[in-house]
Amino acid sequence: MASQQDSGPAELADGDALIVVDIQNDFLPGGALGVPGGDEVIAVIDEYVRLFVSRGLPIYVSRDWHPPDHCSFREQGGPWPVHCVAGTRGAAFPDSLRIPADATIVSKATKPSQEAYSTFEGTDLERQLRQRSVRRVFIGGLATDYCVANSVNDARRLGFTTFVLEDAIRAVDVHPGDGQAACETMRQHGARFLRLGDLLPAPP
């Protein structure tokens, strides 16, 4: 069920982590699987990164890192065009995305026969978060209705207090309204939504 307060301000604290989901060249406009407006989230994500860096809080950056014969590709019977093949320009992060040197890169969907929309699926992200005593995660990136939604819903299932960065997500909307429906589902799972201006400065 959704919490009684599913939006509004929050104050960063120890035990928080930022998760940036799949901001890769192939998911930007002009890429193999471009998300409409996907490039618009980069500058906003960069500001979230700056805030988390200033507080010394951990940052995790996920990426699709597919083999050339991945099961999600149409040539293999999947629903998507070939995208984010490991080591290619399409799989790379855009130059304008500011990734700190100490950020943790999480590669997912790396096996030919396994799809993974969630950043938690088939990765050790949960273990890493537990080792860092993370209790709250702040999630933004691409795309709202697939990898963001699945990551958020898994984070809630695993017991993390979860915030969706509403100004730093965009939807594929294969079917009109998919992104809006995904946001409603995330709220039903108990995720809170916030924007950059909702992150309050820490008290002196």
Q: Is 108 a catalytic residue?
A: yes
79-82 long-range contacts, Cβ below 8 Å, gap at least 24?
Answer: 80/33, 81/32, 81/33, 82/32
Task: Please report the domains of the chain, with CATH numbers, ordered by start residue.
Answer: 14-200 (3.40.50.850)
Q: pLDDT digit string (tens) for 132-143?
A: 999 999 999 999
Catalytic member of 22, 64, 145, 154 = 22
Catalytic member of 108, 154, 167, 183 = 108
Q: pLDDT digit string (tens) for 56-108?
A: 999 999 999 999 999 999 999 999 999 999 999 999 999 999 999 999 999 99
pTM exceeds 0.85, yes or no:
yes
Beta bridge partners of 136: 16, 161
